[in-house]
Structure 1
Amino acid sequence: MIHLDPEQVSAARQGDRAALASVVRSLQRPVYGLAMRMLAHPADAEDATQEILIKIITHLGTVRDDRAAGGWALKVASRHLVGMRKRGRVEAMRMTFKDFADDLETGLVAADEDQTETAITAIAIEEIKIGCTLAMLTCLTRSLRIAYVLGDIFEMSDTEAAEALEITAAAYRQRLSRARQQVTDFVQSSCGMVSQGAACRCEKRLTAAQDSGRVTLGAPAFGLAAPASDIPKLRRQIRTLEDGRRAAALMRSNPSFPTTVGDLVMAVLK
């Protein structure tokens, strides 16, 4: 999941600032992407990413094998995100899957077809899907959440994910199985992207999302300049999959979130 150039890592460890900047640029997007899926809020994810990058930079000299630096960085990031004392803003809501299902059934309004065809509204509907799937993950405990993120979203092997989390492969498989079952049960019953029988549809959440301030037309919270996916087409594609694969396909449909937090970290280090 995190790949670093061994030569750049070696040069950075020897004090080459340009190499260090390159390492940080290579780290910022995957670390931020992991933080987004763990914390479900851009500002919280940026704060956590900054803290993680500083930890990595500070301890880069302890890396014994430059070729293994990416795996080591993932361990640092995973340990930090699971062990954070402070809860993120979405985590602080302490939603259970039952709470979330009830929330999704509130305020559903059929969307105006002419409105949903505009680019601005399409981005907003995409953001509803992104925000919903990220918030859904916070219904899992952190240990189950990161197991699910590494395994089903980033598609790491049991061995790789277990190493990143510093647990046995058997323990990792148990966590992933529990997380996968909880997510699958939820989306099958409550998510219209996955199940035709579920009432919720991203476009039907638009009015409620605007009223609550979760979405603002023309001011995307996740940095989207254009819709990352065609929601109706994605819905059809996901429903063609086997039941057990639908939830993961939905989660993987989210974009690679852009960030410049690494530049901020390098600026602080001047």
Structure 2
Amino acid sequence: MPKEQFYLVDKAVGGDEQALEELLLGVQDMVFNLSLRMLGSPHDAEDASQEIYVRVITSLSTFKKESAFSTWVYRVACNHLLNYKKSMFAKMPPLSFEYYGADIDAGHVAAGGARAVGVDEDLLAQELKMSCTNVMLQCFDSESRLIYVLGTMLKVDSKICGEILGITPEAYRQRLSRARHKMAGFLSEYCGLASSPRCGCKQRVGYAIQNRRLDPANLEYTKLAQAEASAFIQAMEEIDSQSHIFANLPRYRSPQKVQDYLQKILHSEDMETILSGEVQ
């Protein structure tokens, strides 16, 4: 597979749009899911994914073939997302597990609003679960979030993660263990998915609607098409008992908006300039 990818990279750098398209289509879901977990909202993930595609294209000639193409794309994406300042959460005061826990304790109201708009309550609870888990990740600082997402949700090898972050695999595993321990403690205390009585997705639906955190008329996660689970399943050692809550969250296909943007770039008259790396 790497040799085939290297061949496609050579062709793409030489101006072969079909080779470039094949390369990017192979990583588009990966890029979107990483962006979604890092930024906490589908809209921000769409915007960031588009920017990452441009960075990948303009930097393609610098790919030295010292790793798999997908590993290199991870590195480009991670560097971009670690410094991303345009997301909704980047513009807000930093979240913390303490703040989120207090919000959970305060956030139980009747879910009458859900029934009033005629939306199935189970569907709303599932939507809230997807939203809540992604928002929960924002309680980490950006590097800890990236470490947790790569190790627990995307199951990237520790050697690769260490290379991305510029640390040893051992240091990465230590930081991942600390992040998992912190998340596990929070989940066991507050999250109904981990059998805590303090919160359940259905219990929070009414509160989320009341505070405009959940819009029954616009279920963002429900609208996303799920990717084939087999494409993401890899062996992973269970380090804590709560890892499955995040490890088993669905992986999504790149939204049509992002796919359309990618096609627009690929078939642009300026593709030769973009491939040359002259676009800033």
TM-score > 0.5, shorter chain as reference: yes
Shift, 1:149, TM fit: 0.7
For 1:194 and 1:147, the matched residues in 2 are separated by 21
Q: Is the aligned partner of 1:42 residue 2:47?
A: no
Q: Structure 1 residues 67, 179: CA separation in 2 closer, same or farther (over 3 Å shift)? A: closer
> Is the deviation greater in 28-37 or in 62-71?
62-71
Corresponding position of 1:239: none
CA contact (8 A) 1:125 1:202 kept: yes
For 1:124 and 1:227, the matched residues in 2 are separated by 17
CA contact (8 A) 2:162 2:168 kept: yes
Q: Percentage identity across aligned positions?
A: 32
Q: Is the aligned partner of 1:54 residue 2:54?
A: yes
CA contact (8 A) 1:53 1:262 kept: no
User: Which 4+ stretches in 1 moved above 6 angstroms?
Assistant: 225-228
Corresponding position of 1:208: 207
Amino acid corresponding to residue 11 of structure 1 in structure 2:
K
Corresponding position of 2:142: 142
For 1:227 and 1:120, the matched residues in 2 are separated by 20
2:187 is paired with a residue whose SS is helix
Q: Structure 1 residues 66, 18: CA separation in 2 closer, same or farther (over 3 Å shift)? A: farther
Corresponding position of 1:17: 17
2:80 is paired with a residue whose SS is helix
CA contact (8 A) 2:226 2:251 kept: no
What is the aligned counterpart of 1:267 among 264, 269, 274?
264
Amino acid corresponding to residue 158 of structure 1 in structure 2:
S
Corresponding position of 1:74: 74
1:105 is paired with a residue whose SS is helix
Q: Structure 1 residues 227, 148: CA separation in 2 closer, same or farther (over 3 Å shift)? A: closer
What does residue range 93-108 of structure 1 map to in structure 2 within 5 Å?
93-108=93-108
For 2:217 and 2:226, the matched residues in 1 are separated by 12
Corresponding position of 2:152: 152
Amino acid corresponding to residue 83 of structure 2 in structure 1:
G
For 1:178 and 1:189, the matched residues in 2 are separated by 17
Shift, 1:257, TM fit: 2.2
- Alpha-carbon RMSD across the aligned residues, in angstroms, is 2.8
What is the aligned counterpart of 1:244 among 233, 237, 240?
240
Amino acid corresponding to residue 265 of structure 1 in structure 2:
L
Q: Structure 1 residues 68, 225: CA separation in 2 closer, same or farther (over 3 Å shift)? A: closer
CA contact (8 A) 1:38 1:81 kept: yes
Shift, 1:22, TM fit: 2.1
Q: Structure 1 residues 147, 52: CA separation in 2 closer, same or farther (over 3 Å shift)? A: same
What does residue range 88-237 of structure 1 map to in structure 2 within 5 Å?
88-91=87-90, 92-109=92-109, 120-196=120-196, 198-224=197-223
